Amino acid sequence: MDMNKTILFGVLAAVASVAGELRADASYDLVIYGSSPAALTAAIEAQRHGKTAVIVCPETRVGGLTTGGLGQTDIGNKTAFGGLALQFYKDIADYYKDASHWTYEKRSDYVPDGQCAGSLGEDSMWTFEPSAALSVLSDWEKKHGLRIVRGEYLNRAKGGVTVENGRITSIQTLSGRIYSGKMFVDATYEGDLLAAAGVSYTVGREANAVYGETISGIEKRAAKNHQFNKGVDPYVVKGDPSSGLLPWVEPFNPNEKDGDGDKRVQAYCFRMCLTDDPSNRIPFAKPAGYDEKNYELLLRNLEALDPSVFKVHAKDYWSYMPWINSRMPNRKTDTNNRTGFSTDFVGGNWAWPEASYEERAKILKAHLDYQMGLMWTLANHPRVPAPIREEVAKWGTCRDEFTDGLGNGWQSQLYVREARRLVGDTVMTEHHCRGDLKAARPVAMGAYGMDSHNVRRHVGADGFVHNEGNVEDYKRYSPFGPKADLNPKGRHIGFKPYGIDYGAIVPKKAECTNLFVPVCLSASHMAFGSIRMEPVFFALGQAAGAAASLSIDAGCAVQDLDYGKLLPELKKVGQVVGL
């Protein structure tokens, strides 16, 4: 299969597609653009209030990252979630109670690992195969009678979104269809609708000074995890700057300072679903156009290790493996990045948030080529230490996953960790995450540490290559400030789940009075790094669906909705807004 043609055809042909049986120029109470979990919960909640809703999305596979490979749910405190968010994970648990869904291993043989390992056997389950998530959400679509129009790309050009007197009245897709509505929801990972509607947003990292933060801007001090080993040379010819830098490495910049802002975004990847079952495994293949130079930093990073670490058992060198292979049911994994050079394509995604559909297709293809080449290199290249090579070669993509994807077990959903972010009157910041500020009108909760993957690679003052931008902050107070909360053993006390303010999912009133943004919400770079988890998007989508319905009933701008009326509705469906 020619994956390049597959990807580009999937985007370009969509302009002529006619998906579903809904008529053009249809009008609804709520028009939702995007296919993330927030899209589904917003529609379900609106329908619960007796409103008509339609989901319009480019994708044919709904559920975003939840069905796209992120089976090891990033969560933190599970008690922070109720409503439809919790219902999804309960439905996953029910799915795996059916013995027929255990094909490649018995339920009793499944030993999950990672942060959600303890969910097996509970009434909710937070580790799952992509196909299981798709099955559950497909059942939701049927059970709730959701109207989903697939294969429809928003016309992002002028006139694609009609705004009259501060209200969106309709959106048009590239196929020419028009969807009119009273309320609108941007449920994309990119914020395409909010941008086309002309509301304020930002891309990249704010300077710390903007919101009085400590870790939102350029961050070299905290970039200790997922870092290169000491002494990795950044030049094509080792020690020779005149030979040029290796791909995706920036030169040393003596003028930039920690805390400065920029327009770069944290790295993306595919959350691979792998298997070590030979009957279901597709071996890693070398992509067309493979260039070893793209992986020279990987090879040098591995060569910088002490060879003695590979002379012992697997458990002793596993920490040097450049991936995290978290076990999912049926001998599958959710595979994520680890170490200085891994599945994250650092620097390859900066253009994605504002890119055209055609440009995004090329960026997605570049990520696919990069990651395919990475896995082939790890499994086959003679400069990779034999224990790693032998271990990686046991794995491959799954024949029975992503059969609607790019082929050979690869999904079409890229892990867009961060793109545009709304700038509303309320901006969630590091201070909310740490508990120094509290949401005045909480509609859902965040429950994860402030987490940013690496943003770029650069030459340090020492002349060697370094990653920059990785932040994994789970402390109540900034590690760079004077305050600290310590437990009796002297360890930092992690921040508790915190409320996400209603004001963060709506634009400024002067800009648009009938739009909700539950995914690309109003937050600083590092606050978004905490909020950006799939359970939160489930919850915020449900809050948006309720608020949209109540705003229609009240005939008011979404910014003027009486929180005293919204809160009881959220509690009625089990939404958790405080602990």
The pLDDT tens digits of the residues spanning 278-299 come to 999 999 999 999 999 999 999 9
Report the pLDDT averaged over residues 41-61.
98
Coil, helix or strand at residue 143 = helix
Predicted confidence at residue 320, as pLDDT, reads 79
Q: Report pLDDT digits (tens) over 393-431.
A: 999 999 999 999 999 999 999 999 999 999 999 999 999
- What average pLDDT does this structure show over 307-329? 77
Sign (positive/negative) of CA torsion 40, 44, 45, 46? positive
The two three-digit tokens of residue 373, written as one number = 């080449």
Cβ-based neighbours of 556, under 8 Å, separated by 6 or more: none
Q: What is the pLDDT of residues 447-463, one digit of tens each?
A: 999 999 999 999 999 99
Q: Which helix (H) or strand (E) holds 501?
A: strand 498-501
Q: When comparing pLDDT for 491 and 281, which is higher? A: 281
Mean pLDDT throughout 159-167?
97
**Mean pLDDT, range 306-334, rounded to an integer:** 81
Nearest by Cα to 53 from 29, 35, 22? 29
Q: Which among 96, 84, 83 has a CA at the least distance from the CA of 123?
A: 96
Is the pLDDT score of 13 beyond 50?
no
Q: What are the DSSP E strand ranges found in 157-280? A: 161-164, 167-172, 178-186, 201-203, 235-237, 240-245, 274-275
Q: Is the pLDDT of residue 122 over 90?
A: no
- Given a cut of 50, whether residue 21 has pLDDT beyond it is no
- Exposed / middle / buried, residue 355 (Cβ in 10 Å: 0-12, 13-18, 19+): middle
Whose structure tokens read 């089976």?
Answer: 71
Mean pLDDT of 556-575: 98
Q: Which residue has the higher pLDDT, 93 or 10?
A: 93
pLDDT at 150 over 70: yes
pLDDT digits 0-9 by tens, 215-251: 999 999 888 889 999 999 999 999 999 999 999 999 9
In DSSP notation, 35-63 reads -SHHHHHHHHHHHHTT--EEEE-S-SS-S
Instruction: Inform me whether the pLDDT recorded for 170 exceeds 80.
Output: yes
Domains of the chain, CATH where assigned:
3-200+495-572 (3.50.50.60), 274-398 (no CATH)
With vertex at residue 531, the alpha carbon angle to CA 563 and CA 375, rounded to the nearest 5 degrees, is 155
Q: How confident is the model at residue 17 (pLDDT cuts 50, 70, 90)?
A: very low
Query: For 432, what's the count of Cα atoms within 13 Å in the CB-facing half-sphere?
Result: 30
Rama region for 198: left / alpha / beta (φ>0; ψ in -120 to 50; rest): left
- What are 334-383's pLDDT values in tens digits? 999 999 999 999 999 999 999 999 999 999 999 999 999 999 999 999 99
Confidence of residue 19 (pLDDT cuts 50, 70, 90): very low
Euclidean distance between CA atoms 112 and 312, whole angstroms:
25
pLDDT tens digit string along 540-553?
999 999 999 999 99
Residue 23 above 50 pLDDT?
A: no
